[in-house]
Structure formats: structure tokens, C-alpha cells
């Protein structure tokens, strides 16, 4: 995480004035209809640049500057708030968080006894006013003092009930947003209506919340983060809500039937130290990509009402709360071109060529476009401004065009009519188009993959050597490698006796790889290393896998009704290749597997004598002894072959932590949770049969 956030550098008063106007216009557009020429990260950088310039040149500060103003000074609506809806100040790393906490504790003159830690949801703040338990009015944050009445949206927001469990008069505050599934559905409705899609979930939520004349209705989601009792209510409930810790107030809100983050993987917690706060920040950040809704940070606040009251407020933000901003996972950039690449299984995959943009700490120039149907569905054009995000925080993907930024110079994307690799026909029967030659179109790619370190691991077999063999007609697929003779290899250029003998020894050694690796080497579409291990462990033998129908394949964890028939069809297509592997004497069983009583029947999942069966295992620190040479990927494979589930983070669900040298915070957390801890030597003994 970035300790010192980058910002837009402004050279002089003219650049400063232009930046102020751009920020004001962007905020006004966003808070008006959800559109903006800037994405969130670009806007934040711009405002930080404005603030830095103002600190260096206080005499040049313009009255219209967005700094120090809620919502960047975008005044929307005329419904006064009972209590101002303020923004939060930001920190961008552990050091800044520690400095802020220390400053707050100096102001209080004592340590903060309890910190509340919650996700910062990526949506729009609203006030939901209940009278005698019935939802009466919805108001946007606006400029913090007054907002816009959007009560017409009542009934379209999941998590915001028409009635509370108790007939109370209160004001709930929270975030309105679109979940991933709601966003997809909204884009489909808009696509059907006018052929365009929304740019991203946040702008879709902003526009949808205010829309009153659309011929279609899009669903939204609400998460509460606070409650205000009626100012003139002197009841016991009102008094209690003013005195309860924030964490207990949120428990009360959830009991009223209002949605909070309590049931999500990023539920709010109470921490007793800044160190624990930072740990929770890292835990939330680690699962960010897996959430069905967007977050852009973590909110840390004093949990106790007394601490909040004593800390007070500045002109725009509470002093007792801060937003820990996470790196942006979505940006707007230009779609310059589309490349059509053919994969090792013959799948023709479009790839977006982008104007370089920094995304989550790295420069992105390429992004996934899925398939032709997806390009058509999203209405993408060359020259479009597009939103780009990281799927799983790893692979950049194009989300949608930003339609309101179109200039008229955009051009249609040219769709190939023949295979871009070999010029052959294209099979268009499925959404993912494929060359009719399948793996034969890119034999070199499929063989290179099969002999790789995580598959058959044939040392010394580089791509140029494989190309030699293909050109000499010695092989057509990777199964042919196991039938190569010494004389054939010696006949290749730059193949001496030593290198030939070494390569033959490596090929012979590869015959003994476990079934999980052999299956992975096949490159079955929809599977990878982890899925191959699950399939091998579930069935135990290649014979059982090949005998399985779609329903039996679907019984494997992670394989659904759509993927199972693809796996079955792929195995039929690969039948000749598998037969050659069997003939060559390649291992077709998983370690620990014993043949079932009835020939051809699948080995029941869990029938192995697996030492880690049902266990979630985390590995941390440097391995030693028998495990010293293993990479993290190989350790994960070892765990799964022994029946366990490899995980990267310690939680209450963790069964075992393998802690090597310099284990660090994961060991400390495991100790606090009572998780069993073993050293590499003890773990190696436990799973020795699989080494």
C-alpha cells in the first residue's frame, strides 16, 4: 500500500485555476447524474494536488476550491439535514494511520480504548428517515448541509425495509450501491433499451438513485453505517442510542431488519490497538477482490460515544474517524486497438490494447475482453474511453465504455472471420470462438504448457527444442515425447550425447508425475492446477475420470453445471492423446489411491487415507529440511494432494499453520486464535508419503 499518495503537480496559478475548475465540474457532474470526466482515483489525485498548491501558495486560494468542502462543493438539493453529513479525512498507509491515531490520542489526553473497523463502501451516502417505524423519506448527502429528496427510489433498494422491527422514529445513514450482479442486470436492461451500458457500479448507482423517468427499473443495495435518534425524542431508546458504542448501535440496526456488513466477509470489528486495526485493514484488503460489492477503503473510528463527543468535529469531517484508502482497482483510459490471440487449446481470445494507465500499483497496457459476444454486448468501439479494473486484483479487464465521453471519432471493432493464427475456419457454436483445428492450431503452445514446471516438469525441454522436434515431424503432441529414441534426438542440431541422455532421463522421470499433474498437462478448458488436483483427488484414476458423465464431474468442488459438460467434451476430444500417455506408461493414478471394488467405478471422495483430509493449511516463512527446495505453488500442490486445502491467510477456520523461519504476523495471529502450529520438519513427516 502506498504510504505517500501521488498527486497532480500544479506548476503555477493558471494550472491551479484550471485544476479547481476541472474538479468542480467533475464533482457537479458526478453528484448530478453519476457521470464525470474523471474516475475516482484521478479526482482524488487532482484534489490532493490542489491542496498541496494551496498549502504552498495560501495567497492564491480560490473561493471555489473543492478543498475543505463536502462533496467537493457540489451543492445538490434543498432538503436540510438534521445533522450535517460530513466527509472523512483520508490516510493512505500504516504510517499515516499510526500518526493520525497518535494525534487523536494526544487530543484526548489518553489512549483510545476501542476502535471500530469497517469497510468503506463504494457508493453514495444517503439518509433514510423512518417515522414510527415506517420509511418516509430518502435524502442524498448533497453538500453535507442539505441534499436531494430521492424518496421515489423507496421500494427498489435491497437492505432498506419499508418498516423497521420497532415503531421508532430514527434516521439511518448508510451507503447506496450496486452489487456486481445488480450492475450486470442494470447493464443488460440499459443495453436492451438504448444499446449502451453503465461505466461502472458507482456511476450506475448514482444515476439510478436519481432517475425518475426511465422505462426500466434497476435494483440497488443499502448498507447502514450509522443511526441518529430523533432530536426531540427523549425516550429511553433515543438516550441509549446516543450513549451506546458504535458497534452496539450497529447490532441494534441489524436487529431492526436493516442490512449491515455484519453478514459479509468484511464485517465490522472492535479492535483494542492500532496494531490490530492495521491487521484488520490488511484482512479486508486481502478479500476485496472476492466481494460481491465494491469497497475503496476501510473506515476507522472511535467506538465509544464519549471518545467521539470529546474529539468533536472540524469544519468538514469528524476528528474521531478516518478513511484508510486502498489503491484504485478501476481507472478510465483509451481503447486503442484489439488483438486476436489464439490460445493453446485453439480458443480465439480478444485482447484490448490500452493507453497506458496506472492501476493498483502497476502500469496496464493490455486487458482481457472475454469474447466477441461480450464486445458486442458492451457496445465497445475503438477510441472509446473505457473503465478498466483488475479481476481478482491480478488480471486487468475492460468493464464498459464511458459513453458520455464519446467524441464521434470512435470506430467499430473489426471481428475476424478466419483464425488469426492459421487462417482456418472458426467454430462459433459457443461464446468463446475456437479454431476448428483446436490444439493442432497451436501445438507448440500446448506442448510448452504441458512440459512446464507445474505440469510434467521436464527439465531441459525449452521452446526452441520443441519447435525443432515439431519441424522434424518427431512429435505432434506432448505424448509423443515419451516415444522419442536416443537416435532421433541425436539427429537434431545442437543435440550432443550428454544433453540427449539428460533429456531422456527427464522425460522418463516425468512418467512418474502424479495424476493431478498429468491431468493439468492435458490443458482441459476450464481447469487449472488447483482444479486438476481436486479432480484427481476426487476420482483417483484417469480411468474413473474418463468414465464420469457431466453429473459425476459436477460433484467436484468448484465445477458447476456449465463447466461440467465442457470438461466431458474435452476429455472425449483428448481421448487419443490420453491413450498414447497410457501406452507410454505415464502414471494415471493419484498417490494414496487404491482401486475401487468395482472396475470402472469412481473412487469416492475422501476414501483416500489422506493425512490432511478436511484441513485448511497455511504456509508462512522460509521452509527448511525436505521442504526447502519447494516453491509456494509446489507447497500448495503438496497440501492439496495430501487432502488439505491451501490458504494464504490465517483465520478462525485455519486448521494448521506451517511456520518456517521469519514467520512473522501470521504466526502471531495463529497463536492468538489457538491454531495448531508446526515447523517444516514436523509437517514433512506428517505428509512424507506425498513428498
Q: Establish whether 645 is a catalytic residue.
A: no
What grid cell was written down for 212?
Answer: 425518475
Q: Angle 463-471/443-450 helices, nearest 10 degrees?
A: 130
Q: Is 604 exposed, middle or buried (0-12, 13-18, 19+ CB in 10 A)?
A: exposed
- In DSSP terms, 348 is beta-bridged to 342
| Helix, strand or coil, per DSSP, at residue 473 | coil
Q: Convert 470-481 to b/e letters by CB count within 10 Å (16 or more is b).
A: beeebbebbbbb
Q: Give the long-range contacts of residues 95-102, CB within 8 A, separation 24 or more.
A: 95/3, 96/3, 97/274, 97/277, 97/278, 97/281, 97/300, 97/322, 97/324, 98/274, 98/278, 100/322, 101/274, 101/277, 101/300
CA–CA gap between residue 585 and residue 512 (Å, rounded): 9
> Residue ranges of the alpha helices (H) in 418-562?
443-450, 463-471, 486-490, 497-510, 515-522, 529-539, 542-547, 550-554
Q: What is the 3-state secondary structure (H, E, C) of 619-688?
A: EECECCHHHCCCCHHHHHHHHHHCCCEEECCCCCCCCEEEECECCCHHHHHHHHHCCEEECHHHHHHHCH
Distances (CA, A) of 286 to 5, 105, 531: 20, 28, 22
| Helix, strand or coil, per DSSP, at residue 253 | helix
CA–CA gap between residue 246 and residue 259 (Å, rounded): 16
CA–CA gap between residue 10 and residue 292 (Å, rounded): 38
Q: Angle 529-539/515-522 helices, nearest 10 degrees?
A: 130
Residue of 69, 120, 189, 325 marked active site: 120
- In DSSP terms, 301 is beta-bridged to 116, 321
Q: Dihedral (C-alpha) 46, 49, 53, 56: value to the nearest 10 degrees?
A: 160
Residues with catalytic function? 120
Amino acid at each position: 500500500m502506498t504510504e505517500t499518495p501521488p498527486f497532480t503537480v500544479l506548476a503555477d496559478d493558471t494550472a491551479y485555476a484550471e485544476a479547481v475548475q476541472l474538479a468542480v465540474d467533475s464533482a457537479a457532474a458526478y453528484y448530478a447524474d453519476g457521470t464525470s470526466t474523471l474516475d475516482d482515483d484521478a479526482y482524488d489525485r487532482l484534489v490532493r494536488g490542489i491542496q498541496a498548491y494551496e498549502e504552498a501558495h495560501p495567497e492564491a486560494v480560490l473561493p471555489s476550491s473543492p478543498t475543505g468542502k463536502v462533496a467537493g462543493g457540489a451543492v445538490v438539493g434543498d432538503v436540510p439535514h438534521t445533522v450535517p453529513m460530513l466527509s472523512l479525512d483520508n490516510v493512505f498507509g500504516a504510517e499515516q494511520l499510526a500518526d493520525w491515531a497518535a494525534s487523536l490520542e494526544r487530543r484526548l489526553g489518553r489512549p483510545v480504548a476501542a476502535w471500530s473497523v469497517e469497510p468503506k463502501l463504494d457508493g453514495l451516502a444517503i439518509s433514510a428517515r423512518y417515522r414510527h417505524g415506517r420509511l418516509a423519506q430518502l435524502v442524498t448527502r448533497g453538500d453535507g448541509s442539505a441534499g436531494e429528496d430521492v424518496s421515489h427510489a423507496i421500494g427498489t433498494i435491497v437492505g432498506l425495509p419499508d418498516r423497521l422491527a420497532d415503531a421508532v422514529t430514527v434516521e439511518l445513514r448508510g451507503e447506496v450501491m450496486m452489487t456486481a450482479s445488480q450492475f450486470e442486470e442494470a447493464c443488460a436492461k440499459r443495453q436492451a433499451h438504448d444499446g449502451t451500458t453503465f461505466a461502472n457500479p458507482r456511476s450506475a448507482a448514482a444515476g439510478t438513485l436519481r432517475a425518475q423517468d426511465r422505462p426500466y427499473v434497476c435494483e440497488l443495495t443499502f448498507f447502514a453505517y450509522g443511526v441518529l435518534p430523533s432530536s426531540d425524542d427523549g425516550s429511553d431508546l433515543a438516550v441509549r442510542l446516543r450513549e451506546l458504542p458504535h458497534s452496539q448501535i450497529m447490532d441494534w440496526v441489524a436487529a431492526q431488519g436493516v442490512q449491515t456488513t455484519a453478514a459479509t466477509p468484511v464485517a465490522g470489528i472492535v479492535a483494542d490497538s492500532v496494531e490490530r486495526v492495521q491487521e484488520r485493514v490488511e484482512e479486508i484488503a486481502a478479500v476485496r477482490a472476492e466481494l460481491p460489492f465494491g469497497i475503496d477503503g476501510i473506515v476507522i473510528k472511535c467506538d465509544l460515544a464519549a471518545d467521539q463527543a470529546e474529539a468533536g468535529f472540524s469544519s468538514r469531517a469528524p476528528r474521531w474517524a478516518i478513511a484508510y484508502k486502498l489503491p484504485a482497482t478501476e481507472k478510465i483510459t483509451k481503447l486503442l486497438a484489439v488483438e486476436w490471440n489464439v490460445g493453446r487449446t485453439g480458443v480465439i481470445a480478444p485482447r484490448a490494447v490500452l493507453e497506458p494507465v496506472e492501476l493498483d500499483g502497476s502500469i496496464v497496457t493490455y486487458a482481457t475482453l472475454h469474447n466477441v459476444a461480450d464486445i458486442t454486448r458492451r457496445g465497445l468501439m475503438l477510441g472509446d474511453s473505457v473503465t478498466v479494473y483488475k479481476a481478482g486484483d491480478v488480471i486487468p479487464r475492460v468493464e464498459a465504455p464511458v459513453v458520455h465521453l464519446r467524441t464521434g471519432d470512435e470506430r467499430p471493432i473489426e471481428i475476424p472471420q478466419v483464425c488469426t493464427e492459421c487462417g482456418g475456419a472458426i467454430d462459433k457454436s459457443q461464446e468463446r470462438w475456437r479454431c476448428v483445428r483446436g490444439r493442432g492450431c497451436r501445438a507448440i503452445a500446448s506442448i510448452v504448457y504441458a512440459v512446464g514446471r507445474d505440469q510434467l516438469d521436464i527439465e531441459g525441454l525449452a521452446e526452441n527444442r520443441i519447435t525443432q522436434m515439431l519441424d522434424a515431424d518427431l512429435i505432434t503432441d506432448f505424448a509423443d515425447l515419451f516415444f522419442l529414441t536416443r537416435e532421433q534426438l541425436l539427429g537434431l542440431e545442437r543435440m550432443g550425447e550428454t544433453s540427449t541422455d539428460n533429456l531422456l532421463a527427464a522425460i522418463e522421470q516425468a512418467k512418474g508425475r502424479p495424476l493431478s499433474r498429468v491431468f493439468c498437462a492435458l490443458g482441459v478448458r476450464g481447469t487449472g492446477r488447483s482444479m486438476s488436483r481436486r479432480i484427481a483427488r476426487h476420482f483417483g484414476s484417469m480411468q474413473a475420470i474418463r468414465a464420469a458423465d457431466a453429473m459425476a464431474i459436477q460433484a467436484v468442488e468448484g465445477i458447476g453445471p456449465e463447466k461440467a459438460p465442457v470438461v466431458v467434451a474435452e476429455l472425449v476430444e483428448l481421448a487419443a492423446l490420453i491413450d498414447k500417455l497410457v501406452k507410454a506408461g505415464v502414471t494415471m493414478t493419484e498417490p494414496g489411491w487404491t482401486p475401487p471394488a468395482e472396475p470402472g467405478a469412481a473412487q469416492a471422495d475422501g476414501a483416500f487415507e489422506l493425512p490432511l483430509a478436511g484441513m485448511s493449511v497455511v504456509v508462512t516463512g522460509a521452509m527448511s529440511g525436505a521442504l526447502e527446495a519447494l516453491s509456494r505453488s509446489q507447497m500448495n500442490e503438496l497440501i492439496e494432494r495430501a487432502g488439505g486445502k491451501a490458504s494464504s491467510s490465517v483465520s478462525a477456520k485455519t486448521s494448521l499453520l506451517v511456520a518456517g523461519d521469519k514467520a512473522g504476523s501470521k504466526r502471531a495471529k495463529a497463536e492468538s486464535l489457538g491454531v495448531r502450529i508446526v515447523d517444516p520438519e514436523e509437517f514433512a513427516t506428517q505428509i512424507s508419503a506425498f513428498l
